A and B are shown apart, each in its own frame.
Chain A
Amino acid sequence: DAGITQSPRHKVTETGTPVTLRCHQTENHRYMYWYRQDPGHGLRLIHYSYGVKDTDKGEVSDGYSVSRSKTEDFLLTLESATSSQTSVYFCAISDGRGRGGNTGELFFGEGSRLTVL
């Protein structure tokens, strides 16, 4: 199994509070991603990173920010949590090998369940 650790695994917070989710990898993979999973929507990309300090937005980035100061860590921050951000958040990594620089094969963490009251 790929070494991916997400923390916290469960969190309950109140509307308006800041929240940071952490993803830590031990695989030295270049690419890291944050997805959210919601019923009827599958997985949607929030932000991704293609290197230290190199990040870009995904399809549902509003209300979220990310940072990657080290290869192994990718942080997702909700500056002011809202009830619509109640979801399960998954971190994923990929190694960048293969055609086009990325095989597209992702390795996932176990998820972080966030509830915003």
Chain B
Amino acid sequence: GDSVTQMEGPVTLSEEAFLTINCTYTATGYPSLFWYVQYPGEGLQLLLKATKADDKGSNKGFEATYRKETTSFHLEKGSVQVSDSAVYFCALSASGGYQKVTFGTGTKLQVIP
């Protein structure tokens, strides 16, 4: 079945550091890929998405590129802020029909001043 593997956390960075959170997936066909973010005490919200190979999703300074050859969708940000502290989830939605979204286990990011 479909699965998503993302790096273990927590990740602790200083403000203005470069962020990478690795995500790889296993799926049949051509899934859509997503990064969701969860701030403390809240539900998840979509951060960015990509629906086909080589697409780059971007939002709020975060970027991720859909790499079919390496089945990866790594999240990057050039300069993190304290307000980016949250849990980040990589997810995929299988192609065709009514899809169920499969999530990774989440990576907690803590940014310190």
Which residues of A are interface residues toward B (Cβ below 8 A)? Answer: 4, 31, 33, 35, 40-45, 48, 50, 58, 90, 92, 96, 98-111
Contact = CB atoms under 8 A, between A and B. Distances in A.
Range class of the B interface residue count: 20 to 34
A42 B42 contact: no
Given A90-B43, A110-B42, A110-B43, A100 B99 contact: yes
B44 A48 contact: no
Contacts of B42: 110-111
Interface stretch (B68-76, B78-86, B101-109): B101-109
Interface of B: 31-32, 34, 36, 41-46, 49, 51, 89, 91-93, 95-106
Contacts, number: 74
Nearest to A101: B98
A4 B106 CA distance: 23
Nearest to A98: B51
Given A42-B106, A104-B91, 19 more contacts: A31-B98, A41-B105, A42-B89, A58-B100, A99-B32, A99-B51, A100-B95, A101-B97, A101-B98, A102-B97, A102-B98, A103-B32, A104-B32, A104-B34, A104-B93, A105-B93, A106-B101, A111-B42, A111-B43
